[in-house]
Amino acid sequence: MSLEVYTGATPNGWKITVMIEELLEAGIDLGHVDVHQLSLSDGDQFTEDFMKINPNQKIPAIVHNGTSIIESCAILHYLGETFPTTLFPNDDRRWQVIPWLYWQAANIGPIFGNKLSYTRYIRDATDLERRHPIERFGKEASRLIGVMDYQLAKHPYLCGDHFTVADIATWCWIRSYKWVKVDITMKPRVVDWLERVRNRPGVERGISFGVPKAEIDSFSKERRESYMKDGGIIASNSELNSDV
């Protein structure tokens, strides 16, 4: 049994390292696990070898016993189903979880990702050009925080009484709310959930991957500058060659 993980220290990448640590925390034997960190700013995602694993040229991806799985939420689903724990129910209750996993993939990921790009990374546009996308994605991000608040008023986790893959997927984005510049402080239930999830030992280990200990919860000036620069390259892809 072997699990090869291709990832990086980003919201979508952390989902998988957090999941692996949560499975280990639950006592699951994952067999041999190799974690490969890709440098997105160096264009590792565009190499021919990586494209055989993920033709979409993005992290994360896994290869488990010879099968490639792409898309962070599909990977969470796959790992949840393959290694049964309360992170992913194996009875009808999974239908309380799967829709919220899709909800993350279709809403939080793209909206927060675009808000982040226009707020921090895309520098070759004028303030006027950036105003509309920042306003549009910012408004929608705030609305999504409201949806989370509605859910968390009913139960301690996003889709019920248990911490699940839906919380992992969503938390890995929401934890960066300051970097994305989306205010969540008017929703104390979301703030509490953010802290409750952060205190889980599996989550702590999962987000430590690829980041110096002192910078897990707040970036140094150097890291901020390097993310702004490298994020700019990734957001526009202008300096990277791809035939796809």
Given the rule CB under 6 A, which residues bind ligand GSH?
A: 10-13, 40, 45, 58-60, 71-73, 105, 109, 234, 237
137 or 187: CB nearest ligand GSH? 137
- In the complex, what is the shortest distance from the CB of residue 15 to ligand GSH, in angstroms, rounded to a whole number? 8
| DSSP letter (8 states) at residue 157 | B
Residues contacting 92, CB < 8 A, separation 6+: none
| Amino acid identity at 201 | P
The β-bridge partners of 88 are 85
Kindly report the backbone phi and psi dihedral angles of residue 67, in degrees, each rounded to the nearest multiple of 5, phi listed first: -100, 130
71 or 215: CB nearest ligand GSH? 71
- In the complex, what is the shortest distance from the CB of residue 60 to ligand GSH, in angstroms, rounded to a whole number? 6
Cβ 93 vs Cβ 157: under 8 Å: no
Cβ 53 vs Cβ 38: under 8 Å: no
The C-alpha atoms of residue 140 and residue 146 are separated, in whole angstroms, by 10
- In the complex, what is the shortest distance from the CB of residue 237 to ligand GSH, in angstroms, rounded to a whole number? 6
The C-alpha atoms of residue 230 and residue 42 are separated, in whole angstroms, by 9
81 or 161: CB nearest ligand GSH? 81
Cβ 56 vs Cβ 43: under 8 Å: no
29 or 124: CB nearest ligand GSH? 124
- In the complex, what is the shortest distance from the CB of residue 128 to ligand GSH, in angstroms, rounded to a whole number? 25
The β-bridge partners of 7 are 37
10 or 85: CB nearest ligand GSH? 10
- In the complex, what is the shortest distance from the CB of residue 98 to ligand GSH, in angstroms, rounded to a whole number? 15
Output the DSSP codes for 123-163: -SS-HHHHHHHHHHHHHHHHHHHHHHHHHHTTSSBTTBSS-
12 or 151: CB nearest ligand GSH? 12
**Residue whose C-alpha is closest to residue 38's, from 17, 13, 72:** 13
- In the complex, what is the shortest distance from the CB of residue 158 to ligand GSH, in angstroms, rounded to a whole number? 17
